């Protein structure tokens, strides 16, 4: 009895850990444990369930996926999207095939999409979601780089595949992000956020690729007997299909070996292979379990691991003061390359591994690409977060948020903060000064060309020194000067955002500036109660905002910058019929390229756009006034007027170009 209770207690513990990890991964696009650790805990739970015959409610071994929390519309899948049973034993696969042919393809690590075509046109795209209900992302799918918007076949077909972002595109996007903590952890997280954007202009800029791998359904005139025929058909229709090979019990192990050798050359992320029966009738006759279809199985790479000695933990500082731990260990060979460093992401992960200098650790590459520490055999637990910042020597402090511990430097004058702060100041959404990478900013600081952001606007006096610097010449200098001069004229919101006020993104900066009639002096002197009165601004943001400008150093820096800049006046005049009005936009728009353009159009004329309908909303713009959407229902309950796009433009006397 005691042993059974221990097992049940361990199951509850595993259940909670896996649930928290899945929530962080799928809902918040963050990681609190490695894939290696997650798989190990999952396998342990599955084995305990098998031993005890008990499956706890909402167990991750039964429930597929996680809750959806975006504002995207949702839809139930006609055919539930189950996850696949998995194995790391390639020698088990010949027997699994039961003497039949299989189709062996890459298991892509992105976001599953289901596409519906009618009359040769893409009419709907839905994410996997939780396996039963997905999010509708049709506008985003239309801007994928390789997706066919129209196809030759005019009947209705439903296609399943994976949206992915390549490693090279992942690196390009991350290289454009100045702040270390803002960079994406891996291509899968970047893809997830990109595919589920509310603004498909952002999706279009990120070069998403779609690889088809299943014809879910088609009108009866399409009679295919094999998966290969289906994939050939999809290729003929213009789809990029996942690379696949026909496997037999005699060839499947050899094929896995060949694909394994190709893995380091692939630009797309893959976390294994998928083997499915080629003969459709036989595959369909197998049915499914509560969680898995029986016609397919996932083969996951047995991670190549190596033991290493932990030499030190480096601490990397950022603009906000966040200091992230990086494990440095004796060099080891993994997947054909030498590895000696791995990010630990945060203090919680470091503590969870009980790391200490000199410990023997097990290292592997997640998806054969990203170095991770899988296990610590010594678990001395002697490594502690530094009490002083490794860059400036200032005092550090630990903060815990959502049960994740992180370390921060408290010195406002930390050089690392200066580099990151100026990088934020010159970023595209802020002052948009091109030609100033973090390396260049650090060089300028070291050479005493600048000590703060305002000095950038005085660099013309240091021409001779800059032109003589390595990597700079007359042409580079002039391009930088032109960019700096162009940045002298800036909107109040972009200026406010550039200062790096805590919790103030560009959209929040726009909200605040608009509330104070774009008067930056009023903005800087705003009281907390005035800020809280702005819809979308809470007490925490308001108090941090007031505290920022109450600090003499921050205010002086802002005032010095203002003396060197010219703030743009807002395009909207107070006489605009929509000035001060609050709008919510839902559904398709036809006279604008998208809802973002309509949002900007409203804001330029003094109106406000929010994401949800409340008692403070003046108008809901929806071209389908009879829609039964939640926003329409809320608008009717609150007596908020629902208007079409055309009626909105009539209020303004027509669309101004």
Instruction: Please give the positions annotated as active site.
Output: 107
d(CA 548, CA 531) in angstroms, rounded, equals 14
CB 422 within 8 A of CB 563: no
Provide the terminal-to-terminal Cα distance of the chain, rounded to the nearest Å.
Answer: 77
| Cα–Cα nearest to 640, from 614, 607, 622 | 614
**What is the CA 254 to chain-centroid distance, rounded?**
36
Strands (E), 395-435: 396-401, 404-409
Closest by Cα among 212, 77, 200 to 144: 200
- How far is the CA of 618 from the CAs of 17, 107, 606, in angstroms? 45, 48, 13
Measured CA to CA, the distance from residue 102 to residue 94 in angstroms comes to: 10
Q: Which of 42, 45, 59, 17 is nearest to 291 (CA)?
A: 59
**How far apart are alpha carbons 523 and 549 in whole angstroms?**
10
Are 403 and 421 spatial neighbours (Cβ–Cβ below 8 Å)? no
The structure tokens listed for 31 are: 């990681």
The first and second tokens of residue 122, run together, are: 């893409």
518 in the Ramachandran plot: left (φ > 0), alpha (ψ -120 to 50) or beta?
A: left
Closest CA to 572 of 503, 532, 517: 517
What's the CA gap between 104 and 231, in Å, rounded?
A: 12
Burial of residue 335 (CB within 10 Å: 0-12, 13-18, 19+) is middle
CA Rg value for the chain: 28
Taking alpha carbons only, the member of 551, 555, 481, 571 closest to residue 523 is: 555
Q: Tokens 């994928």 sit at which residue?
A: 144
Structure tokens at 200: 């498909």
Instruction: Identify the three-state secondary structure at position 421.
Output: helix
Beta strands in 318-468, from DSSP E residues, in sequence order = 322-334, 337-343, 360-366, 370-376, 396-401, 404-409
Cα-to-chain-centroid distance, residue 311: 32
Residue 140 tokens read as 């985003």
DSSP string, 155-187: S-EEEEEEEE--HHHHHHHHHT---GGGS-SSH
According to DSSP, residue 263 is labeled: G
Report d(CA 101, CA 37) in Å as an integer. Answer: 34
Phi, psi of 309, rounded to the nearest 5 degrees: -100, 125
């Amino acid at each position: 009895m005691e042993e059974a209770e221990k097992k049940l207690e361990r199951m509850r513990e595993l259940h909670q850990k896996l649930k928290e990890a899945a929530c962080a991964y799928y809902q918040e696009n963050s990681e609190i444990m490695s894939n290696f650790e997650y798989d190990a805990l999952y396998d342990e739970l599955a084995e305990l369930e098998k031993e005890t015959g008990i499956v706890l409610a909402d167990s991750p071994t039964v429930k597929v996926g996680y809750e959806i929390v975006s504002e995207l519309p949702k839809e139930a899948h006609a055919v539930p999207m189950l996850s696949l049973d998995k194995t790391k034993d390639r020698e088990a696969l010949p027997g699994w095939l039961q003497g039949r042919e299989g189709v062996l393809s890459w298991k892509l690590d992105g976001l599953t999409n289901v596409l519906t075509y009618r009359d040769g046109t893409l009419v709907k795209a839905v994410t996997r979601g939780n396996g039963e209900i997905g999010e509708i992302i049709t506008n985003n799918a239309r801007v994928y780089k390789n997706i066919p918007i129209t196809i030759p076949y005019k009947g209705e077909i439903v296609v399943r595949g994976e949206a992915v972002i390549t490693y090279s595109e992942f690196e390009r996007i991350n290289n454009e992000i100045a702040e270390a903590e803002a960079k994406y952890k891996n291509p899968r997280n970047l893809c997830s956020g990109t595919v589920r954007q509310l603004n498909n202009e952002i999706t279009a800029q990120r070069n998403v690729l779609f690889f088809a791998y299943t014809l879910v359904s088609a009108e009866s005139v399409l009679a295919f007997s094999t998966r290969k025929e289906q994939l050939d058909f999809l290729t003929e229709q213009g789809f990029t299909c996942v690379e696949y090979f026909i496997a037999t019990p005699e060839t499947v192990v050899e094929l896995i070996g060949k694909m394994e050798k190709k893995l380091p050359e692939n630009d797309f992320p893959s976390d294994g292979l998928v083997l499915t029966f080629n003969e459709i009738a036989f595959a369909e006759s197998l049915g499914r379990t509560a969680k898995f279809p029986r016609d397919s199985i996932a083969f996951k790479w047995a991670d190549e691991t190596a033991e290493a000695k932990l030499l030190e933990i480096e601490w990397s500082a950022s603009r906000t003061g966040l200091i992230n731990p990086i494990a440095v260990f004796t060099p080891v060979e993994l997947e054909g390359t030498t590895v000696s460093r791995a990010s630990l992401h945060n203090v919680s992960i470091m503590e969870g591994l009980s790391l200490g200098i000199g410990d023997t650790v097990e290292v592997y590459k997640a998806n054969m690409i990203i170095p991770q520490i899988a296990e610590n055999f010594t678990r001395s637990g002697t490594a502690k977060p530094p009490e002083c910042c490794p860059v400036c020597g200032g005092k550090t402090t630990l903060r815990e948020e959502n049960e994740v511990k992180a370390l921060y430097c408290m010195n406002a004058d930390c050089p690392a903060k200066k580099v990151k702060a100026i990088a934020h100041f010159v970023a595209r959404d802020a002052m948009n000064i091109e030609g100033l990478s973090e390396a260049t900013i650090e060089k300028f600081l070291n050479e005493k060309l600048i000590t703060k952001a305002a000095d950038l606007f005085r660099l013309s006096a240091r021409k001779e020194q800059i032109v003589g610097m390595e990597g700079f010449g007359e042409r580079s200098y002039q391009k930088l000067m032109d960019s700096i001069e162009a940045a002298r004229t800036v909107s109040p919101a972009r200026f406010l955002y550039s200062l790096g006020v805590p919790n103030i993104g560009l959209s929040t900066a726009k909200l605040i500036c608009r509330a104070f009639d774009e008067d930056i002096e009023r903005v800087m002197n705003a009281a907390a109660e005035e800020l809280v009165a702005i819809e979308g601004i809470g007490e925490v943001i308001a108090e941090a905002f007031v505290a920022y400008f109450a600090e003499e150093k921050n205010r002086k820096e802002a005032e010095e910058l203002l003396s060197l800049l010219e703030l743009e006046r807002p395009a909207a005049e107070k006489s605009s019929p929509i000035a001060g009005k609050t709008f919510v936009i839902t559904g398709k728009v036809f006279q604008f390229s998208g809802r973002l353009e309509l949002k900007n159009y409203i804001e330029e004329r003094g109106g406000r756009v929010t994401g949800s309908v409340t008692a403070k909303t003046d108008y809901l713009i929806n071209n389908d006034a009879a829609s039964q959407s939640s926003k329409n229902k809320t608008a009717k309950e609150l007596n908020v007027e629902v208007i079409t796009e055309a009626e909105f433009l009539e209020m303004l006397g027509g669309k101004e170009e």
